[in-house]
Amino acid sequence: MTKINLSELTIKKAHDLIHDKEISCRELLSIYQENIKKHEKNVHAYLEVFDDAFEKAEEEDKKIMAGEEPKLLAGIPLAIKNNIMIKGKICSAGSKILENYKATYDATVIKKLRDEGAIFIGRTNMDEFAMGSSTENSAFGPTKNPYDLERVPGGSSGGSAAAVAQQECLAALGSDTGGSIRQPAAFCGIVGLKPTYGAVSRYGLIAMASSLDQIGPLAKTTEDIELLFNAIKGKDSFDSTSIDFDKFRNKKSTAKIIGVPKEFFSLKDGGKEGLDKDIAANIVKTIDFFKDNGYIIKEVSLPYAEYSLPTYYILMPAEVSANLARFDGIRYGFSEKGDNLLEDYMKTRREGFGKEARRRIILGTYVLSEGYYDAYYSQAQKIRDLIKKDFENAFKEVDVLITPATPTLPFKFGEKSGDPLAMYLSDIFTVPANLAGIPAVSVPMGFIDRDNVKLPTGIQFIGPWFGEEILFDLSKKIEYARANIY
């Protein structure tokens, strides 16, 4: 068997090795399984590692030995966030209320990846129902950051990000409602894409906030992200919000003019208040790199961006309140019995949901209630339209936007968990893209020394609707030149 350096292995390289029969699908899977055994007791990226993964790998090997040309993803070990349905596997969404729920069907993205021969190595840990920015809200214990076990990996897709960073899988799927792919990608030093809303089917994703949720890939390289995105994108008859990406693909595939939103980052003054000074310094280096390579850097304004976070934290809990109403302990999942039906509901939901889930359900019910709907929910929808309009205007002037991915470096456990507002601020740079439904990617932006530990950080590119190819192009340029930039 060919000796493999997992840190340098990509999907394309793995495919070539499998194609040339230098390694079998089973052998590749076994390497990752051994790495899981070595690191998982410390990192806790997975809620379950699948026993039948080797059977699937052997099936792919038999096809190849019979002379069948392996598909690009054949034998590629992928980790799947535990709010994406895999038929016959537990899909708990990180919550006690669904701790024993087995999915009865495959999510569309799972079906597409299965058809391409991908191997699902396990289901990853996450903040309960994707509510959180640290994976501290999981009912099954926190995931730790591979770069510093005292720090969070980000959230809510923290398990997926940590699994990729720790070489416990080749790539992973996550979901992003307000930054839940991009923020953990930045904290774990990998690439994470939130696609255009509707570009990837949400069928089989346990809903948090349906108008904001989007499934996307996490991987070590942009090339891998692009390959996975191309495999899962497209119209789906089971999801009425899904769109034929190739039909609406943005005409531009490269950028010439890069916009810097002054509400996020000032070209004159550098980082805004609350942005880590070392992250700000790396952003300046990134902007200078693009200037030196012939790009036009232009400051633009998103005047309603400052209202993104409060708008998000009205609309998202409102949708949470509606989506989580179905979990009542009557048809499936965790159930507690009371003296009557109402008490059944109350006991089940009180003991089945964690603190953050209960907080958002209560907040969402409040903003949807009579007398408050117009004052809060209706107004937030109007602001959302204005935020979207801001982006439309900005993309008339520039091809892409560059911003920080996160305001801070990975923080320590407990540092923000006692202060919900401080935790919510972790999403300040990522939320606007979800509200507008536009694509955004977080790309590693070097390392920063903090407390004698080298911690990863990320930069975010935000593109116009269906402008993923622009993001891939810029991300690859950063990757190729990273050693010379930071």
Closest alpha carbon to 389 in 304, 298, 264: 304
Helices (H), 140-221: 158-165, 182-188
Query: Edge-to-edge, what's the strand order for the sheet holding 191-194?
Result: 46-49, 119-124, 77-81, 171-175, 215-219, 191-194, 440-450, 453-462, 400-404, 257-261, 296-300
Residues of the chain with pLDDT under 70: 1-2, 269-270
pLDDT the model gives residue 329:
83
Verify whether residue 180 is a known catalytic residue: yes
pLDDT the model gives residue 1:
62
- Identity of residue 451: D
If residue 33 lies in a helix (H) or strand (E), which one and from where to where? helix 25-43
pLDDT the model gives residue 19:
96
* Backbone dihedral angles phi then psi of residue 408, each to the nearest 5 degrees: -135, 170
Residues 6+ apart with CB under 8 A from 39: 146, 166, 168
Task: Indicate which residue of 92, 138, 180, 308 is catalytic.
Answer: 180
Verify whether residue 156 is a known catalytic residue: yes
Q: What SS3 state is found at 349?
A: helix
Among 1.10.1200.10, 3.90.550.10, 3.90.1300.10, 3.50.50.60, name the CATH number for the domain at 6-248: 3.90.1300.10
CB-count exposure of residue 277 (10 Å: 0-12, 13-18, 19+): exposed
Verify whether residue 56 is a known catalytic residue: no
Superfamily of chain region 257-300+383-485: Amidase signature (AS) domain (3.90.1300.10)
Task: Indicate which residue of 24, 95, 156, 475 is catalytic.
Answer: 156
Domain with CATH 3.90.1300.10 in the chain: 6-248, 257-300+383-485
pTM above 0.85, yes or no: yes
- Name the token pair of 336: 């507690």
Predicted confidence (pLDDT) per residue in 124-142, tens digit:
999 999 999 999 999 999 9
- Name the token pair of 329: 């302990």
- Identity of residue 356: E
Kindly report the length of the chain.
Answer: 486
The CA-CA-CA angle for residues 425, 224, 439, to 5°, reads 40
Task: Indicate which residue of 24, 56, 71, 81 is catalytic.
Answer: 81
pLDDT the model gives residue 417:
85
Integer Cα distance of 217 and 175 in angstroms: 8
Predicted confidence (pLDDT) per residue in 435-477, tens digit:
999 999 999 999 999 999 999 999 999 999 999 999 999 999 9
